[in-house]
Amino acid sequence: MDVQSLLEGVGPWALAVIAVFVFIESGLLFPFLPGDSLLVTAGLTHQALGLSVPLIAAVAFVAAAAGDQVGYLLGDKVGARLFKDDARILKTARLRETEAFFQKYGGRALVLGRFVPVIRTYVPLAAGSARYPYRRFLPWNLLGAFLWAVGVTVVGSLLGGVPFIANNIDVLLSVIVLLSVLPIVIDQVRKRILARRHRRASA
């Protein structure tokens, strides 16, 4: 998705688009929206969009925190019943991976998971499914939303002051996308190698 053209194309609705995309990716179980690149681009091009960095960061923070609240409530009320083994998006395997991630890191997963695509979407659901105490969920959620939404937006605005980066936004965004999906690719390769070794050992 060409997020720069999207934000510039919607004009005065750019802030609303940022809020909606961040909210959906954070809490409505749709992990394939360009959250990281969207915030970086908004920070990079804030002047062209006619928006201040603090305003973009504040809106993104509220949307991210609210999205995780919805994800937690869905996990608490519905949980794994939303997922199916043969589903295209809500696969049971993805939920199990996220639950393992949450069990490993506990509340910290709500912060760490913000910076990992797909995991970012399912961690609050896993927290709700695991009946993680809400009084402990809330501060971790707010901290994660702040570090991710505000941090990524501010980084984008700072990078915009570097001429090379400002003139090569497309290249930068491609690199960001690659770095974002790299942990997932590495994890999948590792699992395939382990499965292959297991089959050979069993043969």
Domain count, the chain: 1
pLDDT tens-digit map of 185-197: 676 678 788 888 8
Q: Which domain holds residue 139?
A: 3-202
Q: In angstroms, rounded to a whole number, what is the distance separating the alpha carbons of residues 178 and 154?
A: 20
pLDDT tens-digit map of 45-57: 888 888 899 999 9
Residue 99, pLDDT above cutoff 80: no
Question: What contacts 141, CB < 8 A, 6 or more positions away?
Answer: 65, 68, 69, 72, 110, 124
* Residues 136-139: contacts with CB under 8 Å, at least 24 apart: 136/107, 137/72, 137/107, 137/110
Residue 67, pLDDT above cutoff 80: yes
Tell me the CA distances in angstroms from 35 to 121, 122, 179, 192, one per residue in order: 10, 14, 13, 28
pLDDT at 117: 73
Cβ-based burial of 200 (10 A; exposed 0-12, middle 13-18, buried ≥19):
exposed
Residue 146, pLDDT above cutoff 90: yes
pTM value is 0.73
Mean pLDDT across the chain:
80
